[in-house]
Amino acid sequence: MFGMIARATLKEGKEQELQSLLANWKATMRPQLPGKFLEMVGNAAGQPNQVVFIALAEDEAAFQKMSASPEEHAFYGKFNEVFEAEPTIEVVSMNITIPE
C-alpha cells in the first residue's frame, strides 16, 4: 500500500469541525477511490491535540490520482484550517499484515 502518515496540532475547540470534515471526506471522496484504502486517525499517546493520520491507497498510482484531484486539494484547504500549522507529511510505502 502507498500513502502518507501526517501529524498536526489541532487548534483549541476544533475537535468537532475535524470530525465533520473527516465524515464528509468518507462520504464524498472515499467512494471515488479505486481499490482498497486504509484510513486511521488518532492522537499521540497522552496528547489529545496532537493528531496522527494514516492514509494508504491500494498502490502508488491510486494515491497519486487521489492527491492530484481538485476535490482533494479543496478538502485539504479546509482540513488545514483546523490545525495550528500545516500538517507534517511523510509519504510511505507499507506492507500490511493483519493476522486472522
Whether 100 is covered by a domain: the verdict is: no
Is 80 inside a domain boundary? yes
- What is residue 30's predicted lDDT score, i.e. its pLDDT? 87
- Reduced to 3 states (helix: H, G, I; strand: E, B; else coil), residue 24 is helix
* Residue 68 maps to a domain: yes
Residue 99 has a pLDDT of 83
Contact 66, 60 (CB under 8 A): no
What's the pLDDT at 34? 84
- Domain limits at 62? 2-93
Q: Would you say residue 99 lies in a domain?
A: no
> What domain count does the chain have?
1
| Domain assignment of residue 98, yes or no | no
Give pLDDT tens digits along the chain (100 positions): 999 999 999 999 999 999 999 999 899 988 888 888 999 999 999 999 999 999 999 999 999 988 898 988 888 888 899 999 999 999 999 998 878 8
CATH number of the domain bearing residue 64: 3.30.70.100
Helix residue spans in 29-80 (DSSP H): 60-68, 70-80
The answer to whether residue 20 sits within a structural domain is yes
